[in-house]
Amino acid sequence: MLAFIKGLSSTVTLVAGALVGVGICFGVMSIYNEWVVYPRIKAETTAIVEAQARQATEAAINEVNDTAERARAMRKHCSDSGLQYNSATISCRQ
């Protein structure tokens, strides 16, 4: 009977240790995801969305036939993007 209790105690200790280990691993991985993985995914996604929006805007501006209207649209696009409008090349610059 004493051997059975020692074996049961050992098993309970083993299971408790395994649960604590799983909890620690879960916590470490959660912190890693919050600090490393999610910011990287967010930055990549933001860059992709901004690039798609810029391409769509430039495509829409290029479809405009009137030069003056195209220049007005580019000037607005540049100011919305935080860039300066270059009237010589009808484009944005830093």
Give the domain ranges of the chain. 59-94
Instruction: Render pLDDT for 44-81 as a digit per residue (tens, 0 to 9).
Output: 999 999 889 888 888 887 777 777 787 888 888 888 88
Strands 84-86 and 91-93: antiparallel
pTM: predicted TM-score of the whole model, two decimal places: 0.52
Who's near 92: CB < 8 A, 6+ residues apart?
74, 77, 78, 81, 83, 84, 85, 86
Instruction: Render pLDDT for 6-57 as a digit per residue (tens, 0 to 9).
Output: 777 888 899 999 999 999 999 999 999 999 999 999 999 999 998 898 888 8
**Average pLDDT of the chain?**
85
